[in-house]
Chains A and B, each alone.
Chain A
Amino acid sequence: MLTKLADMKRIISLIFLLVGFLTFAWAQEETVEETVVEKDKPVRSPFESGYLIDQQTSVIKVPKTLEFVIQHKFGTVENGRSDLWGIYAPGANIRLGLNYVVAKNLQAGWGITKKNMYNDFNLKWTLLEQTRQNTIPVSVTLYGNVAIDSRSKKIFEEQQYWHSSDPDGVHTLHEYRWSQRLSYFSQLIIGRKFGEKLSLQAGASFSHYNLVDHTGDHDKIAAHLGGRFKFSPQSSLLFNFDLPLKIKNISEQREWTNHPKENLALGWEISTSTHAFQIYISAADGIVPQDMVMFNQNDWKNKGLCMGFVITRLWNF
């Protein structure tokens, strides 16, 4: 009981800190608007692309830009040269996506992923951009999606699953409902560009699956950290870290037997006028963010890393 109270206090403190921080950012903007005549412009390219390996960035291109993205993850490197460190392993995952910038700093997208045949529909809104004169010190971005598990209905019908309304120890076979295919992901990302080379971002996310097996949780909160170090006009080093949190208050399990593992990714980005190429190693085999947060069992400390790449192509209309 005391642990639960402490957890709740921590969450409430976090929310207050976040709200306070956002209020401070807005207040800064309003104060400066009154005194400074010349508009403070957003910083140039905090990131080169809207993708940071497995995460989103604050970057949204100009309105009427269409982006095609290919995200590809090979198998894990654990088998060494026998399957060319995962490149020829059977467990590759691929996502093909399209994003369109519908208005300034507002992007809508759709993608389809091999794993679970997820069809995800997403929205990204950068509601605050960091400015050059520090009028707004950080960028604030909201990202959310709904994903549909588009595999055969038979897979769902055959699956015995647990529902939170079931009595302890009783695992009932429930009737298939279409809504069981749905999962959701929502994320707040706060980022800052430090000088010309370094950009960092931190985020918090909430994931929800309508259907999980009896050892899993329907909800998961995760913390995210990412960044880039630009070492030439076209090249940068990238990293991201995603940590699913063990929060008892939102868990349906007494003990976690297979709690999702954190995801660590390191990569190299080359960007051109219309493309971004990211080559990386990453722990998670999932590409859709809620899948990474909810199901990753690859351990980056124990050969659980996969090679992968992201390629984006832009068109302006």
Chain B
Amino acid sequence: MSFIGLQDQKKGGPWDVPAAYKSKKAPASTAQSVNLGKMLWAKHCKSCHGNNGLGDGPKAASLKTSPGNFKAAEFQGQPDGAIYYQSFVGRDEMPNFEKKVVDEEERWALVHFIRTLK
């Protein structure tokens, strides 16, 4: 039996985000979209990424790769389209959420909420 501690987690390498996603333009953020994004965050993201995007959710400790810190300037410095790609297309331990969050408006609402975490 083995346990993975937070200290044993490897840092995820750089993301290879396709240009089509990088150049995606987010619709304007509104209080309503941020609130919707917050609801979706609680349902789909919080268990790994934690309440505030610090990567300290209850399931985070069982991951081999750190979920990262969404407050970090490195993360927040990415274009909206890159965050969109990372959130919904995913890779490795970050699951694909395209069939869980099917509405484009909801996907951008989640990106809007993630932007408020900085």
Q: Which residues of A contact B (CB under 8 A)?
A: 41, 44, 62, 64-65, 232-234, 271-274, 316
**B104 CB, min distance to chain A CBs, angstroms:** 10
Contacts of B36 in A (CB 8 A): 44
Contacts of B100 in A (CB 8 A): 273-274, 316
Query: CB of B1 within 8 A of chain A?
Result: no
B54 to chain A, nearest CB (A): 18
Q: How far is the CA of A314 from the CA of B106 in the complex (A)?
A: 20
Instruction: Say whether B99 contacts A233, CB under 8 Å.
Output: no
| Chain B residues closer than 8 Å to A274, beta-carbon distance | 100
B-chain residues with CB within 8 Å of residue A65 when the two chains form the complex: 99
Neighbouring B residues of A62 by C-beta, 8 Å:
99, 102
Interface pair A273/B43, CB less than 8 Å apart = yes
Chain B neighbourhood of A316, CB < 8 A: 96, 99-100
Bound Cα distance from A41 to B44, whole angstroms: 22
Could you jot down 20 A-B contacts, CB within 8 Å?
Answer: A41-B103, A62-B99, A62-B102, A65-B99, A232-B42, A233-B38, A233-B41, A233-B42, A233-B43, A234-B43, A271-B43, A272-B43, A272-B44, A272-B47, A273-B43, A273-B44, A273-B47, A273-B97, A316-B96, A316-B99
* Bound CA span A274–B44, Å: 8
Residues of A within 8 A of B102 (CB): 62
Tell me, in angstroms, the Cα distance from A273 to B105 when the chains sit together.
17
Instruction: Kindly list chain A residues whose C-beta atoms are within 8 Å of the C-beta of B39.
Output: 233
Q: How far is the CB of B95 from chain A (nearest CB, A)?
A: 8
Q: How far is the CA of A62 from the CA of B96 in the complex (A)?
A: 14
Q: Is the interface of B mostly helix, strand, loop or mixed?
A: helix
A62 to B97, CA, bound (A): 12
Complex Cα distance, B90 from A316, in Å, reads: 14
B103 touches A44 (CB 8 A): yes
Nearest opposing residue in chain B for A132, CB measure: B105
**B106 cross-chain contacts in A, Cβ below 8 A:** 44
C-alpha spacing A147/B99, complex, angstroms: 31
Q: How far in angstroms is the closest Cβ of chain A from B19?
A: 26
Shortest beta-carbon distance, A316 to chain B, in Å?
A: 4
Cα of A44 to Cα of B36 in the assembled complex, Å = 10
Measured between alpha carbons, how far is A272 from B43 in the docked complex, in Å?
5
Q: Which 8 pairs, one residue from A and one from B, show the smallest C-beta to C-beta distance? A: A233-B42, A316-B99, A273-B44, A233-B39, A62-B99, A273-B100, A234-B42, A62-B102
Contact indicator per residue, chain B 30-63, by CB within 8 Å of chain A (1) or not (0) = 0000001011011110010000000000000000
Enumerate chain A residues within 8 angstroms of B97, measured Cβ to Cβ. 273
Known A273-B43, A273-B47; 7 more pairs at CB < 8 Å = A41-B105, A65-B99, A233-B39, A234-B43, A273-B44, A273-B100, A316-B99
Q: A126 to chain B: closest CB distance in Å?
A: 15
Q: Which residues of B contact A272 (CB under 8 A)?
A: 43-44, 47
User: Which A residues are CB-close (under 8 A) to B47?
Assistant: 272-273
**Smallest distance from the beta carbon of A237 to chain B beta carbons, Å?**
17
Q: For residues 91 through 112 of chain B, which have their beta carbon under 8 Å from a beta carbon of chain A?
A: 96-97, 99-100, 102-103, 105-106
- In the assembled complex, the CB of B30 is this many whole angstroms from the nearest CB of chain A, namely 15
CA distance A272 to B100 in the complex (A): 10
B44: A residues at CB distance < 8 A = 272-273
Q: How far is the CB of A46 from chain B (nearest CB, A)?
A: 14
**Nearest CB in chain A to that of B99: its residue:** A316
